[in-house]
Amino acid sequence: MLFSSIPFLYYFLPLILAIYFLVPKRGKNLVLLIASLFFYFYGEPVYVLLMIGACVSSYIHGLLIHRFRGKPLSKVFLWSSIITSLAMLGFFKYSDFFLENLNAISGLDLPLLGLALPIGISFYTFQTLSYTVDVYRGDAQVQKNFISLATYVALFPQLIAGPIVRYTTVEEDLSGRTHSVEKFSAGISRFLIGLGKKVLIANQLGELCDIFRRSSDQSVLFFWLYAIGFSLHIYFDFSGYSDMAIGLGKLFGFRFLENFNYPFISKSISEFWRRWHMSLGSWFRDYVYIPLGGNRVSKGKWLRNILIVWLLTGFWHGAAWNFIIWGLFFGFFLVLEKFFLGAWLKKLPAFLSHIYVLFLVMISFVIFNASSMGQAFSDIGGLFGSGGLPMVSREALYQLRSFGWILVLALIGATPIPKLIVGKIKSHTTGHKILNLLEPVFLAGLLLVVTAYLVDGSFNPFLYFRF
């Protein structure tokens, strides 16, 4: 079930909200857990058992780590929890990748398993890992109530597309969260803004990318439209889902951390990754990079640590070589910035450093979205006219006219400009009152337009099937 779907918007969510606020406080986590398991069952009937298994494993391992704290067995159970979680992720997500590569290297013909990828497994696996590690470190109290821990792991607002919510972030909310009209209204506003970003911007850009892939009338202009369009598509799709998750969290009294902070205004790749998918970046920093030694080691080991983190970052996104190359691509430029380019970038005029970042990010997402490395190289070559491509084609001009307005809207929306304008208006008393009156009208209109798009059966892809 997708957030951007009629069943979720008009059946599932209103029903769950009604039940949730009718039951007493002690029953709210149970309502959320049942709702979350049903939400997952709706799309993954069999794999809901895998999720329940992940909850049980985390619960038992947490208790055992706590029970033997300060003794060797505590570390044994920590590693048992890590191996169990990674084994489930590896088996379901990466089995065929390793079998394909083993066959290619050895000449064997081992049959592939052909397993469907459980939706959201990359997200909830990292959440269970962070819980047991934090309990072992003493950063989190062990959760002795299974319902509360399972609610954290399975919580549907952030289940299928993040952000990666750590247990320490919601530890207090699981037992003592509060509700208010202000928090609820803020949650509705944030959810609808994210829904609009997903349906009205990301989906339209996704349709442009789909048209490009099906077209035989290619040109340099069309390749650039595709590359820019996909970069904006993945941003609005992912940040839109994060907005919806944060908004839904507010509806149920939870506080999720921000996941995006206008990454396209960055002036270095290092800054870009401080602003893009922040929950993933901080997770790898705290649970991989720092335990490896971070930057408090020799330069050789520091380089090793950076490359390990970015190899894993790429591999986390998908079981294919293009994801690994995508991660190492960023790792390479981060190393360059730390050792060579950093000081030079600070001296550049701001617009040149922005161009540097935007160009590299665009190239990275061309690699990210390719079905193979061969296609990635072909797409990158197409940006520069390889193979005698014409500069312009009839279809490229047609699609530019059709999608130009959404590209311009997306480019502006990816910057803080709209937020700054709203903030400027709200800084005046009259403007603040007018916006307060107009906001409900705007949000109601936004929901109406989104509903029209969804009822019409407009293009509505789910990017996270690959994760």
Letter string b/e over residues 182-192, b meaning 16 or more CB atoms within 10 A of that residue's CB: ebbeebbbbbb
**H/E element, 394:** helix 394-413
Instruction: State in Å, rounded, how far the first CA of the chain is from the last one.
Output: 16
Three-state SS at 168: helix
Helix 28-43 with 48-67: angle, nearest 10 deg: 140
Within 8 A by CB and 6+ apart from 420, the residues are none
At 41, list the tokens: 């069952």
**CA atoms of 206 and 221, how far apart (whole Å):** 17
Cα 357 to the center of its chain, rounded Å: 20
- Whether 317 is catalytic is yes
Question: Under a CB-based contact definition with an 8 Å cutoff, are residues 167 and 130 in contact?
Answer: yes
Within 8 A by CB and 6+ apart from 337, the residues are 268, 269, 270, 345
Indicate which residue of 66, 233, 277, 317 is catalytic: 317
**H/E element, 405:** helix 394-413
Query: What phi-psi label fits residue 141: left (phi over 0), alpha (psi between -120 and 50 degrees) or beta?
Result: beta
CA dist list (Å): 379 to 2, 222, 396? 30, 11, 15
**CA atoms of 340 and 420, how far apart (whole Å):** 34
Query: Among all residues, which ones are annotated catalytic?
Result: 317
